[in-house]
Chain A
């Protein structure tokens, strides 16, 4: 993960600067030197200039040792927004950064150069250019609203569940105050103010464990003492990555996968992701053969594989992993002695006829392979509560639990939120209503979306879970490659003003696939979406 100072390539601007500065000076130096060598005048110059050169060389080397980051050099303190890197154009997202605070900042070319920032800053600067993030930003800046902004960008790139928001809203309006402050009879403020266990209160763990059983409609019960709660599924995945792998190790992850994994699994941990490609011929289902192949390739590259990360239901495709495949995965993990992280965040968001099978169902109490299985869950998707940030690590491995509990201190859930949710999750009637209605609406939206896209000649993978349609738009792209795909994405974003996620952001090996989230809209917006896409698809067809 860490790059040494000297292995980094310099940006073209820096090269030019050095060359430019040196070019003119060089001539002024070489000529007198030539003179000295040829015996003409310039002895003084001939001795001073090499010394001066030497001094400048030292100075330059010293300065570069401090300037470890190209971006730093061209953009110190963001004062000179670099049009190349959109992260600095993103100063526009910080409107309050007035000059009054920056006015005293030294020029970027100060004697010692700008102050160091770690390799992790470089990582994120690159990421923010990806279509996934660019699209999210555009949709946020210019959001569609039926009445007030009918030409705005329609957000189909963010897997937010707004379908059942009204139910949650009503519950909160009726119950929130009661839930936080008057838990039972007396004022429970004393429960929310002091330090709590960093991995969540036992009460909340019990409530979450119960909910998991309920939403997965499973006979399997989840043990609260195997639950570690975190501020969202994002830290849950990162904490597991920290626990199961060292920097430089790798996880196998089937593609296409959730773009956020690149951040959650790799960014601060230094863990690598090895792609395990899934193909449309297999309906994008995971094949053990591909897994095997990826494992061997990793070995050849000298990478130690520590685990597999599966998402079930999967994102972006929406597939459910079959019981048979899950068993095969366990066999594979046993054979290679590695971990399995099963991301079951969307377990409650199934809408088809297929049965969802949790990893938890497959494990017997006396099965020693349990120690390699870790389940990730969260409340944001199934409960329509992203802003509350509740993630779950469920593990059968005591050592992992112990480490995760300690690491949870960096990502703890607010006590009043825990209190509120305990109350909500204990309202069994409400929870059941929410789960049922959510599923119904999801099924309906999904079907309508698929039908709408079909009319435009776009087929979707038949999926039973998740919030998405995984659509094959390869018929609309000019060149059957990433470039063609991104051109279409750009058209969709800027002309049709619909933000969808291109398959390349999800590392899909086949170009032309796009992820549409179906949960961010209401039914009446669907025709609007289809209309807009139609315009683009027609022009795309004409241009081919």
Chain B
């Protein structure tokens, strides 16, 4: 029942008053603390350093350079062709040139090991919208999706809020580096069944957020087999696919399908975005790539609720089809991310902190379980608060990511400058020393 306040107040819907937006969780509370006291090298050197936001700023200069040198991309200079088509373009198919450029870019990231058809690309205003849209299409309210833990906290909102779909976690733990196993998948499926929930799909993030690691080929095969076996969908969120430290280590579900001659592909859908790999979160560009014609058709119509402006499509079509730019960007971005990763791992190791071996993404998965008073979620949150208030670092506690073992934290390293990272590492070092002394 919707909340009925006494007159004269007029009621709102369940969706409106629900807290599924999750903004009250620690994941977001830390952001508030940062907003109130943000670190600044000169004006606020003792402020909170934001290491909870997975934004990629390491290759910002490459974007700047491109936009400066190619002003025709962002305007329709006098006599520029295609204005009428571009400005008035209100077709939810999206600009063909942009879809082509996206298809090529996605192929480029995968080292040419998979090809993408521009007509299977559906454009959305960000991956957030893409994931929600797919959920609307693949499941009815009350159905369930299986998602391996730990997972991106935003999924609780994106997959569940308006859709009414439930998430049943596939529990992974540190004993095998948090990899998904067939047993874990089966357990989750049975769990859903016992709660009378119809499982409609499994959603994986590859490379994983928050783990910062790619999924191995054999595991991907097992996941696909599981989906075929249960006749459910497989959504592969590959928004960090361009942020792997080495191109060969990332294996996309597209490659697995290619090797199987696209057998069983009608259940597979890939989500991509330019927010992480290209560092353009403000542009709001996401895509759904589906091997299922009906899903493509429906998603396209549903994208009416989440369209990308034709101006942005035009700009990005120019940028991404510039081979020189895109190749250089992918390569340089990878190198810089690797460098940052090495830097933070080394710094943490010097402080006596171990991390999960990662090979992708904008963050590392840090193990602070030895520091916990008790191996409990409450202990983890206490530690998180201490780090936020005393060390003044905002990092994401594993419990927000539904991690089954307490004490793990996600630490982002690509949204701050190298100098700021140094400062952060110094603070951590001091903190660890203090604890050892006590």
Interface 9-mer from A20-28, A95-103, A430-438: A95-103
Q: Is the CB of B294 within 8 A of A77?
A: yes
Q: Is the CB of B63 within 8 A of A337?
A: no
Give B174 Cβ to nearest chain A Cβ, in Å.
31
Give B22 Cβ to nearest chain A Cβ, in Å.
10
Q: Is the CB of A78 within 8 A of B294?
A: yes
Cβ–Cβ < 8 Å partners of A192 in chain B: 282-283
Q: Does residue B298 face the partner (Cβ distance < 8 Å to A)?
A: yes
Cβ–Cβ < 8 Å partners of A117 in chain B: 137-138, 294-295, 298
Closest to B163 in A: A268
User: B63's contact among A189, A406, A415, by CB below 8 Å, is which?
Assistant: A189
Q: Does residue B68 face the partner (Cβ distance < 8 Å to A)?
A: yes
Q: Is the CB of A412 within 8 A of B284?
A: yes
- CA–CA, A369 to B8, complex, Å? 8
Cβ–Cβ < 8 Å partners of B120 in chain A: 96-97, 101
Closest to B124 in A: A410
Interface 9-mer from A232-240, A445-453, A466-474: A232-240
Give B46 Cβ to nearest chain A Cβ, in Å.
24
> Quick one: given A91-B293, A97-B119, A177-B77, are A118 and B138 in contact (CB under 8 Å)?
yes
Closest to A409 in B: B128
Q: Is the CB of A410 within 8 A of B90?
A: no
- CA–CA, A174 to B292, complex, Å? 44
- CA–CA, A98 to B293, complex, Å? 11
Cβ–Cβ < 8 Å partners of A420 in chain B: 311
Q: Is the CB of A169 within 8 A of B74?
A: no
User: B67's contact among A105, A181, A400, by CB below 8 Å, is which?
Assistant: A181
Interface 9-mer from A106-114, A202-210, A288-296, A486-494: A106-114
Q: Is the CB of B266 within 8 A of A105?
A: yes
Q: Does residue A57 face the partner (Cβ distance < 8 Å to B)?
A: no
Cβ–Cβ < 8 Å partners of A501 in chain B: none
Interface 9-mer from A160-168, A279-287, A347-355: A160-168
Cβ–Cβ < 8 Å partners of B190 in chain A: none
Q: Does residue B55 face the partner (Cβ distance < 8 Å to A)?
A: yes
- CA–CA, A242 to B16, complex, Å? 7
Q: Is the CB of A339 within 8 A of B10?
A: yes
Q: Is the CB of B12 within 8 A of A410?
A: no
**What's the count of A-B pairs with C-beta under 8 Å?**
296
Cβ–Cβ < 8 Å partners of A298 in chain B: none
Q: Does residue A509 face the partner (Cβ distance < 8 Å to B)?
A: no
Q: Does residue B155 face the partner (Cβ distance < 8 Å to A)?
A: no
Q: Does residue A75 face the partner (Cβ distance < 8 Å to B)?
A: yes
Q: Mark A138-170, 1 if CB is under 8 A from B, else 0.
A: 001000000000000000000010100100110
Instruction: List CB contacts (< 8 Å) of B55-86 with chain A.
Output: 55, 57, 60, 63-64, 67-68, 71, 74-80, 83-84, 86
Q: Is the CB of A173 within 8 A of B75?
A: yes
Q: Does residue A120 face the partner (Cβ distance < 8 Å to B)?
A: yes
Interface 9-mer from B301-309, B354-362, B424-432: B301-309
- Most A CB within 10 A of own CB, among B117, B262, B264, B294: B294
Residues of B within 8 A of A (CB-CB), count: 98
Q: Does residue B13 face the partner (Cβ distance < 8 Å to A)?
A: yes
> Quick one: given A407-B162, A417-B311, are A412 and B76 in contact (CB under 8 Å)?
no
> Quick one: given A234-B304, A388-B309, are A196 and B282 in contact (CB under 8 Å)?
yes
- CA–CA, A174 to B76, complex, Å? 9
Q: Is the CB of A169 within 8 A of B232?
A: no
Contact size range, A: 35 or more
Q: Does residue B261 face the partner (Cβ distance < 8 Å to A)?
A: yes
User: B10's contact among A172, A246, A372, A416, by CB below 8 Å, is which?
Assistant: A372
- CA–CA, A448 to B281, complex, Å? 47
- CA–CA, A410 to B63, complex, Å? 25
Q: Is the CB of A244 within 8 A of B86?
A: no
Cβ–Cβ < 8 Å partners of A495 in chain B: none
Q: Is the CB of A387 within 8 A of B86?
A: yes
Q: Is the CB of B125 within 8 A of A113?
A: no
Give A336 Cβ to nearest chain B Cβ, in Å.
10
Cβ–Cβ < 8 Å partners of B90 in chain A: 160, 380, 386-387
Closest to A417 in B: B309
Q: Mark B149-169, 1 if CB is under 8 A from A, else 0.
A: 000000000100010100000
- CA–CA, A192 to B63, complex, Å? 11
- CA–CA, A119 to B78, complex, Å? 48
Instruction: List CB contacts (< 8 Å) of B276-325 with chain A.
Output: 279-285, 291-298, 301-302, 304-312, 315
- CA–CA, A414 to B71, complex, Å? 18
Q: Is the CB of A118 within 8 A of B136?
A: yes
Instruction: List CB contacts (< 8 Å) of A498-517 with chain B.
Output: none
- CA–CA, A306 to B23, complex, Å? 27
- CA–CA, A87 to B63, complex, Å? 41
Q: Is the CB of A160 within 8 A of B88?
A: yes
Give B362 Cβ to nearest chain A Cβ, in Å.
13
Q: Is the CB of A172 within 8 A of B83?
A: yes
Q: Is the CB of B265 within 8 A of A173?
A: no
Majority-rule SS of A interface residues? helix
Give A199 Cβ to nearest chain B Cβ, in Å.
12
Instruction: List CB contacts (< 8 Å) of A84-99 with chain B.
Output: 87, 90-91, 93-98
Q: Does residue A526 face the partner (Cβ distance < 8 Å to B)?
A: no
- CA–CA, A160 to B283, complex, Å? 25
Q: Is the CB of A406 within 8 A of B21?
A: yes
Q: Does residue B410 face the partner (Cβ distance < 8 Å to A)?
A: no
Q: Is the CB of A187 within 8 A of B137?
A: no
Cβ–Cβ < 8 Å partners of A380 in chain B: 90
Cβ–Cβ < 8 Å partners of B293 in chain A: 77-79, 91, 94, 97, 102
Give A410 Cβ to nearest chain B Cβ, in Å.
5
- CA–CA, A132 to B305, complex, Å? 19
Q: Is the CB of B16 within 8 A of A177?
A: no
- CA–CA, A385 to B76, complex, Å? 14
Give A315 Cβ to nearest chain B Cβ, in Å.
16
- CA–CA, A124 to B298, complex, Å? 7
Q: Does residue B260 face the partner (Cβ distance < 8 Å to A)?
A: yes
Q: Is the CB of B233 within 8 A of A177?
A: no
Give 8 nearest A-B pairs by CB, closest first.
A96-B119, A78-B293, A415-B282, A387-B310, A104-B262, A176-B75, A177-B75, A403-B16
Q: Give me 29 A-to-B residue pairs in the complex whose CB atoms sit less than 8 angstroms apart, sorted by A's number.
A: A77-B294, A78-B297, A87-B297, A91-B293, A97-B117, A97-B293, A104-B264, A113-B231, A115-B233, A115-B266, A116-B200, A117-B298, A177-B75, A192-B282, A193-B280, A195-B55, A231-B305, A231-B308, A232-B304, A246-B2, A334-B8, A371-B10, A388-B309, A400-B12, A403-B15, A403-B16, A410-B132, A410-B305, A415-B284
Interface residue ranges, B against A (CB under 8 Å): 2, 7-17, 21, 23, 53, 55, 57, 60, 63-64, 67-68, 71, 74-80, 83-84, 86-91, 93, 117-120, 125-126, 128-129, 132, 136-143, 158, 162, 164, 200, 231-233, 260-267, 279-285, 291-298, 301-302, 304-312, 315
Interface residue ranges, A against B (CB under 8 Å): 1-2, 66, 71, 75-79, 87, 90-91, 93-98, 101-106, 112-121, 124-125, 128, 140, 160, 162, 165, 168-169, 172-174, 176-177, 180-181, 187, 189-190, 192-196, 231-232, 234-235, 238, 242-247, 249, 263, 267-268, 270, 306, 334, 337-339, 368-369, 371-372, 380, 385-389, 397, 399-400, 403, 406-407, 409-417, 420
Q: A162-B88, A388-B311 are in contact. List 18 more A-B contacts (CB 8 A).
A: A96-B117, A98-B117, A104-B262, A118-B136, A118-B137, A118-B140, A121-B294, A176-B75, A193-B279, A193-B280, A193-B282, A386-B90, A389-B307, A410-B305, A412-B125, A414-B125, A416-B282, A416-B311
